[in-house]
Structure 1
Amino acid sequence: MSAARILTWEVSASRGFETAWAQAGDGVLRARGRAVGTDPEPYWVTYDLDAGDGLVTRRLRVTVESGAGSRTLDLRHDGGGAWTVDGERLPAVDGALDCDLGLSPLTNSMPVLRHGLHRGPGEVELLMAWVSVPDLTVRPSRQTYTHLRPGRVRYASGDFHSDLEFDEEGFVVDYPSLARRLAAV
């Protein structure tokens, strides 16, 4: 496992910012992060992500605070394809390997790293457990990741697509229309 990286993005889609403290290596990604957004309403997000055993999500814990109060989510994968949200089964996303935290570029790293798409040819279509922010609703999302060239991967879901730029370690540098990483200090 590598030393923790501190990654900060300006998130244009939420008119806010996100910072993640992330460690990746040996088929594992662990991260904790904080985000602030102002669209669709002012909110704060904190999260802890644990993806292991081939970069498969084990658990995502998220808390959102807004003018309406505080909401929490505990999303878990059992390692065999089944998911729970706050202890309740969620069969709509059975078979998914990854979570996708809305408005966060961090969770795009798991499928890209698992399949080495930031480095070499390939394309994968995946079912994701997509978490909407700031309401924390979990829905199934079909997503395709396609290697375009080293460091460049096309993300597509439904009619939407964007060509994402990744660094050598598999973290998003630029996600047009969503976020752009700020330079490290």
Structure 2
Amino acid sequence: MTFTAPPRTAAWRHLDARDGFEVAYFRSSDDGLLIEGCTTAVEEGQTWIVGYSIELDASWTTRSTRITGRSASGTRHTVLEADGAGHWRVDGAPAPHLDGCLDVDLESSAMTNAFPAHRMGLRVGDRSAAPAAYVRATDLAVERLEQDYVRVADEGPRQRYDYSAQVFDFACRLVYDESGLVLDYPEIAVRVA
């Protein structure tokens, strides 16, 4: 089962790990998709805002990401550029520690977990590694995040994936809607619109 086109907008309430809200807007372009959004949250007593603009190619591979973050320590900006073949530049400088990553994963966002599910096109029972350029919420530091997805049996029109990120000792079952956006991200967020 393939995903339908994303809606014009979607929103998530962040729970447990942080208290906050995310809104994203989706717009098709000639060669892919432009996603613009913002997350605001309180986490461990710190407030932060992260705004993003992400360009994906037709295969849902990340091509560029512009991020602005604001916290009590000030405002930061970061730009990631990717060639679509796993090579990245961060703020104009080569980033070999990200070699092989095809997705950006924003710590502040539940929406960015849609990228691997769309891009990989796994069948039920298939497993795939999906390393990502992981951008921290408070300081916009960019790290490599090793993560795995296993597609499990669908629940009606909803696709489900067992997700894990060993560095965080975290695993959960992600549930996606017909358009491939996360509905339920246990301990992180739930879709509200």
Structure 2 match to 1:163: 173
**Cα 1:169–1:156 shift into 2, 3 Å:** same
Structure 2 match to 1:144: 148
Deviation at 1:4, TM superposition (A): 4.6
Deviation at 1:181, TM superposition (A): 0.7
Structure 2 match to 1:154: 162
**Cα 1:2–1:148 shift into 2, 3 Å:** closer
Deviation at 1:30, TM superposition (A): 2.2
**Cα 1:173–1:23 shift into 2, 3 Å:** farther
Structure 2 match to 1:129: 133
Q: Deviations over 1:114-150 (max 9, x none)?
A: 2234x74421112211111121111111110111122
**Partner Cα distance (1:170, 1:29) in 2:** 14
Q: Deviations over 1:30-80 (max 9, x none)?
A: 210011011141111110011104211101111011222100110110233
Q: 2:40 aligns with which of 11, 36, 41?
A: 36
**Partner Cα distance (1:169, 1:25) in 2:** 17
Does 2:188 align with 1:178? Answer: yes
Does 2:9 align with 1:6? Answer: yes
Unaligned runs of 5+ in 2: none
Indicate conservation of the 8 Å contact 1:61/1:73, yes or no: yes
Deviation at 1:99, TM superposition (A): 0.8
Structure 2 match to 1:95: 100
Q: 2:69 aligns with which of 57, 64, 68?
A: 64
Indicate conservation of the 8 Å contact 1:11/1:103, yes or no: no
Residue 42 of structure 1 aligns to a residue whose secondary structure is strand
Identity %: 35
Indicate conservation of the 8 Å contact 2:98/2:143, yes or no: yes
User: Cα RMSD (Å) of the superposition?
Assistant: 2.1
Kindly report structure 1 stretches of 4+ aligned residues shifted beyond 3 Å: 1-4, 23-29
**Cα 1:23–1:174 shift into 2, 3 Å:** farther
Indicate conservation of the 8 Å contact 2:85/2:102, yes or no: no
**Cα 1:25–1:143 shift into 2, 3 Å:** farther
**Partner Cα distance (1:100, 1:46) in 2:** 13
**Cα 1:16–1:171 shift into 2, 3 Å:** same
**Partner Cα distance (2:38, 2:71) in 1:** 14
Indicate conservation of the 8 Å contact 1:34/1:46, yes or no: yes
**Cα 1:4–1:170 shift into 2, 3 Å:** closer
Q: May I ask how many residue pairs the two structures share in their alignment?
A: 182
TM-score using structure 2 length: 0.86
